[in-house]
Amino acid sequence: MTGGAAAPLRDAPWLHEGPLARLLMALDSEGEEARVVGGAVRNSLFGQPPGDVDVATTALPDEVIRRARAQGMKAVPTGVEHGTVTVVAEGRPFEVTTLREDVETFGRKAKVAFGRDWKRDAERRDFTMNALSVSRDGRIHDYVGGLADIAARRVRFIGDAATRIAEDYLRILRFFRFHAIYGHGAPDADGLHASIVARSGLAQLSRERVRMELLKLLPAKDAGATLAVMADCGILVSVLGGVPYLASLDGMIGVEAALGIEADAVRRLGALGVWVAEDAERLWQKLRLSNEEHERLVSMADRWWRIGPGLDEKDARALLYRLGPERYRDRVMIAWARGREAAGQGNLGRLAGLPERWSAPAFPLRAADFLARGLEKGPALGDAMRAAEEAWIRAGFPLDAPALAAIADEARRRA
């Protein structure tokens, strides 16, 4: 119920047991109040694990530190100027933040002051479902209609959507991400309209923040439909810096379901945004991806179109040996997602599971095998070893001594 205590969360063990219960007891006494706020409450109401647990309190940061240390907990003033103290209890970190209220508002640099008003603190947050708080007795407090929006699976900005977005343009991407994870049906109309109007503000965001939001959105249950809306609104092309391949992403989602595997954000990004190597380079720069993420995208772009239903297991094993399990699976799944196999044919599905039933052996020949055959150290030795490895792959990875000796002899003869 807006404005006070609502539906209970009394049966949540994470709230009543362990270090969190001790922390809340220490902060929720002697004239001060403490509650769990935000994502942990939301997730629990959706029947999901709470994840990171954040605590809000009327106590000032110095008092939070004093009380935590009196309980034998470690207290680190990680953001004390903003009222945040990280309390570590039994190895678990909890962010504890003093209630705040806006004094002056000018984007992300709004001037705030510490306060004791739970409603005003809630109204500073982004979405109604993120503004819920729960007391240590399990009572849920809702000041902005978050419970109704959770029941309706509706992601809605608190107050005026345009104002909330102007405070931080990343909230446009958060709006779509939360809809993809928690929403149902079409996105909230007011939030969608405000996001479209303010989309040019995305250019002000750091690439790292955009990357983080996109990689969180991509594995969501309704990522495909949500990204299609973003494309229709002209938002997705701004994020990617290029044309999105929505049908390819839909195909990847179907392939994941057929294989019974969890969504992988980077693989879905490859399906959505990478057709050729230049796409991988653009996304690397546009989103400031890690080197490992960039290399995976480059690998996905590399001749995926050559993988089709005619690929036999011998050639697939050679590809798996060269790429390693993760990049092999990426490449096969990309090809399958893009219709390189007729529906129901099944060969690519079988080959996608090759890493589970076959492990590529290590190349068994060493430099000593070629030195013993009279080769000297130098370029010729490296050439002979590379030629021998290729011959070993073509032969199907034999490990018996006679076959290996024959391969080494032939490479030595050709050196």
pLDDT computed for residue 107 by the predictor = 53
Two tokens at 149? 């929006």
Write out the residue range of the structural domain in which residue 31 sits.
4-151
Q: Yes or no: say if 347 and 311 are a contact pair by the CB < 8 Å rule.
A: yes
Do 217 and 252 have their domain in common?
Answer: no
Do 251 and 207 have their domain in common?
Answer: no
Give the pLDDT mean for 75-99: 93
Domain boundary among 240, 263, 290: 240
Per-residue pLDDT tens over the stretch 270-328:
999 999 999 999 999 999 999 999 999 999 999 999 998 888 999 999 999 999 999 99
Do 52 and 127 have their domain in common?
Answer: yes
Backbone angles phi, psi at 361, to 5 degrees: -75, 160
Q: Yes or no: say if 223 and 217 are a contact pair by the CB < 8 Å rule.
A: yes
Q: How far apart are the first and last CA of the chain?
A: 81
d(CA 265, CA 176): 16
Domain boundary among 118, 151, 184: 151
Two tokens at 54? 């954040």
Backbone angles phi, psi at 192, to 5 degrees: -65, -45
Select the more confidently predicted residue: 130 or 347: 130
Place of tokens 């605590």: 55
pLDDT computed for residue 341 by the predictor = 61
d(CA 162, CA 175): 12
pLDDT band at 360 (very low <50, low <70, confident <90, very high): very high
pLDDT band at 111 (very low <50, low <70, confident <90, very high): low
Per-residue pLDDT tens over the stretch 12-59:
889 988 999 999 999 999 999 999 999 999 999 999 999 899 999 999
Select the more confidently predicted residue: 414 or 182: 182
Taking 80 as the threshold, does the pLDDT of residue 142 lie above it? yes
d(CA 341, CA 294): 27
Give the pLDDT mean for 133-154: 95
Do 187 and 67 have their domain in common?
Answer: no
Do 259 and 320 have their domain in common?
Answer: yes
Taking 70 as the threshold, does the pLDDT of residue 3 lie above it? no
Give me the number of domains the chain comprises. Answer: 4
Q: What is the CATH number of the domain that holds 170?
A: 1.10.3090.10
pLDDT band at 11 (very low <50, low <70, confident <90, very high): confident
d(CA 409, CA 387): 11
Using DSSP's 3-state secondary structure scheme, residue 86 falls into strand
Do 296 and 320 have their domain in common?
Answer: yes
d(CA 288, CA 217): 17
Two tokens at 310? 């005619």
Q: What is the CATH number of the domain that holds 36?
A: 3.30.460.10
Two tokens at 220? 């969501």
pLDDT band at 339 (very low <50, low <70, confident <90, very high): confident
d(CA 174, CA 210): 10
Per-residue pLDDT tens over the stretch 363-387:
999 999 999 999 999 999 999 999 9
Do 10 and 135 have their domain in common?
Answer: yes
Per-residue pLDDT tens over the stretch 195-242:
999 999 999 999 999 999 999 999 999 999 999 999 999 999 999 999
Domain boundary among 191, 206, 240: 240
pLDDT computed for residue 124 by the predictor = 92
pLDDT band at 105 (very low <50, low <70, confident <90, very high): low
Do 354 and 373 have their domain in common?
Answer: no
Do 295 and 232 have their domain in common?
Answer: no
pLDDT band at 342 (very low <50, low <70, confident <90, very high): low
Do 273 and 292 have their domain in common?
Answer: yes
Two tokens at 298? 């480059």
Do 135 and 21 have their domain in common?
Answer: yes
- Please report, as a single letter, which amino acid is at residue 202: L
d(CA 210, CA 269): 13
Backbone angles phi, psi at 378, to 5 degrees: 145, -170
pLDDT band at 6 (very low <50, low <70, confident <90, very high): very low
Do 281 and 166 have their domain in common?
Answer: no
